[in-house]
Amino acid sequence: MAKYGEGDKRWIVEERPDGANVHNWHWAETDCLPWSKMFFTKSLSDLTILDGQGNLRIKTKKVEKVDGEAYVNIRKGKVIPGYEISLSVSWEGEAKDGEGKTLLKAEGNLEIPYISDENADEDPEVKVTVKDEGPIGKALKEAMLAKGKPLVLEKVRDFVQAMAKGGPVKDELEAKKSAPKTNTTTSNSNSAAVSKEKVGVEKEPKKEVEKEGKKGFKTITMSEKFNCRAKDMYEILMDENRWKGFTQSNARISKEVGGQFSIFDGSVTGINLELQEGKLIAQRWRFGSWPDGIDSTVRLVFNEPEPGVTIIKLTHSDVPEEDRYGNATVVENTERGWRDLIFNKIRAVFGFGI
């Protein structure tokens, strides 16, 4: 992820008295770290976790730190959030006996070491510590994990959704969308009528495009060369044990047409559409972070121009530009996944590099 403030200045428009970023055509970048600190301070300070249940009282005290970077890029009205932050929250707990006598008061810390836009569809790791490691202290810690962790993760998900909508610039974006458009008057009523007729004509093709369902989707194409036989690459991509090996993640892959597959610990699921050994793999792919009902199509065509050299042509169509959270990095992340997590890993693990 590029760091805030390090974008190409040819594409980032600064606030100037002599110019305006009309319709946000160029990149408009906003530092969101101060806003992020305020968001988590408001959401996670003095948050009641348990209020007497099981003779335990637990609540957060305050947000000790929010470190890292967070920003929102706006281009042509599209929100592109970016963030890599960590946070630390102090908490306190009290355990009482059946008669209401205090057995122990303890303090601890809750840490989330990594919250990132690249993992917006996944809950981040949460670590809980307590200063008193005795039996009662450990009981308070376990209660904080069991009851406090879900509440904290709920606030993190609120943050992810807020950033996807623009974070601190959300109100500004909504104001621009809802601003009434000014009508320009013309001295010639006939020309105004003609203009209305033109507008009516121009609306029809737009409806046709929306009907085709292609707006908001992209196609990824790649051509990759490997030092191996085509059948070897085919077998690797259709064998779940080899998938587990080069991705270091769980995989279940059917080798039959119409069979289902699940890779990257279930993050990607789909169905085999067409299989020709050593020649073609066609599948329906779906990422868990995509909006409901959205599927894409993957076609891997194998060509062996000479023995021991294989060229794979990838066409990954109908990839949505945004995930269910509004993050507009789906196409970029999918392309990087094919290149870095699949093709380059196969070269490294199986020695097929060229």
DSSP classification of residue 197: H
Q: Which amino acid is at 346?
A: I
Mean pLDDT across the stretch 139-143?
A: 94
Mean pLDDT across the stretch 194-201?
A: 43
pLDDT tens, position by position, 87-122? 999 999 999 988 889 999 999 999 999 999 888 888
Q: Is the dihedral of CA 310, 311, 317, 321 positive or negative?
A: positive
311: β partners? 225, 303
The whole-angstrom separation of Cα 130 and Cα 113 is: 17
Answer yes or no: are the C-beta atoms of 46 and 61 closer than 8 Å: yes
Whether 127 shows a pLDDT value over 80: the answer reads: yes
Calculate the alpha carbon distances from 298 to 217, 219, 238, 320 in Å.
14, 10, 14, 13
Whether 17 shows a pLDDT value over 60: the answer reads: no
* pLDDT tier for residue 165 given thresholds of 50, 70 and 90: confident
Whether 204 shows a pLDDT value over 60: the answer reads: no
- Cα-flanking dihedrals φ and ψ of residue 11, to 5°? -110, -15
User: Given its phi and psi angles, is residue 203 left (phi above 0), alpha (psi -120 to 50 degrees) or beta?
Assistant: alpha
The CB density around residue 302, as the number of other CB atoms within 10 Å, is: 22
The mean of the pLDDT values for the chain is 82
Q: Give the pLDDT confidence score for residue 259 in this predicted structure.
A: 94
Q: Is the dihedral of CA 6, 7, 9, 14 positive or negative?
A: negative
- 13-27, 162-176, 186-200, 231-245 — which one is most confidently predicted on average? 231-245
What is the third-level CATH fold of 28-172?
Bactericidal permeability-increasing protein; domain 1 (3.15.10)
**Which 3 state secondary structure label does DSSP give 11?**
coil
Q: Do domains 28-172 and 217-350 have the same CATH topology?
A: no
Answer yes or no: are the C-beta atoms of 331 and 319 closer than 8 Å: yes
Whether 195 shows a pLDDT value over 60: the answer reads: no
Task: Report domain extents, the chain.
Answer: 28-172, 217-350
Quick one: 39 exposed, middle or buried, by C-beta within 10 A (0-12, 13-18, 19+)? buried
Q: Tell me which of 134-148, 164-178, 214-228, 292-306 is least confident.
A: 164-178
Whether 79 shows a pLDDT value over 70: the answer reads: yes
- 15-24, 161-170, 171-180, 267-276 — which one is most confidently predicted on average? 267-276
In this structure, CATH architecture of domain 217-350: 2-Layer Sandwich (3.30)
Whether 7 shows a pLDDT value over 50: the answer reads: no
* pLDDT tier for residue 168 given thresholds of 50, 70 and 90: confident
173: β partners? none
Name which residue leads in pLDDT, 131 or 207: 131
Mean pLDDT across the stretch 1-28?
A: 45
